[in-house]
């Protein structure tokens, strides 16, 4: 399930980032007509790297949460059942 969610998160954040960068660039220029400028945006040129970065961020966060949950549910003084 974590693998599936990481892929969904990475795809969604990559797509959202690309849309957001296009909106920010059109706001910066002051014109909605982007023409060839969309090819120069960071998100459009580095989709694979952004996707891999989003996967890594998700996996790091998931391992941190798993570690935190395990440490909260352990018995005090290292006792076992």
What pLDDT score does 13 carry?
94
**Domain spans in the chain, listed from the N-terminal domain onward:** 2-70
Q: What are phi and psi of 64, to 5 degrees?
A: -65, -45
The contacts of residue 44 (CB under 8 Å, 6+ apart) are 18, 21, 38
Which tens digit of pLDDT belongs to each residue from 26-36? Answer: 888 888 777 77
What pLDDT score does 77 carry?
60
Which tens digit of pLDDT belongs to each residue from 36-55? Answer: 777 778 877 889 999 999 99
Q: What are phi and psi of 30, to 5 degrees?
A: 90, 15
Would you give the end-to-end CA distance of the chain in angstroms? Answer: 29
Give the mean pLDDT of 17-23.
Answer: 88
């Amino acid at each position: 399930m974590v693998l599936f969610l990481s892929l969904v998160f990475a795809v969604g954040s990559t797509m959202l980032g690309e849309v957001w960068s296009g909106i920010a660039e059109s706001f910066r220029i002051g014109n909605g007509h982007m023409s060839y400028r969309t090819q120069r945006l960071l998100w459009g040129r580095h989709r694979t790297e952004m996707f891999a970065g989003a996967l890594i961020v998700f996996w790091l966060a998931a391992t941190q949460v798993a570690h935190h949950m395990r440490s909260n549910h352990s018995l005090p003084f290292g006792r076992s059942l």
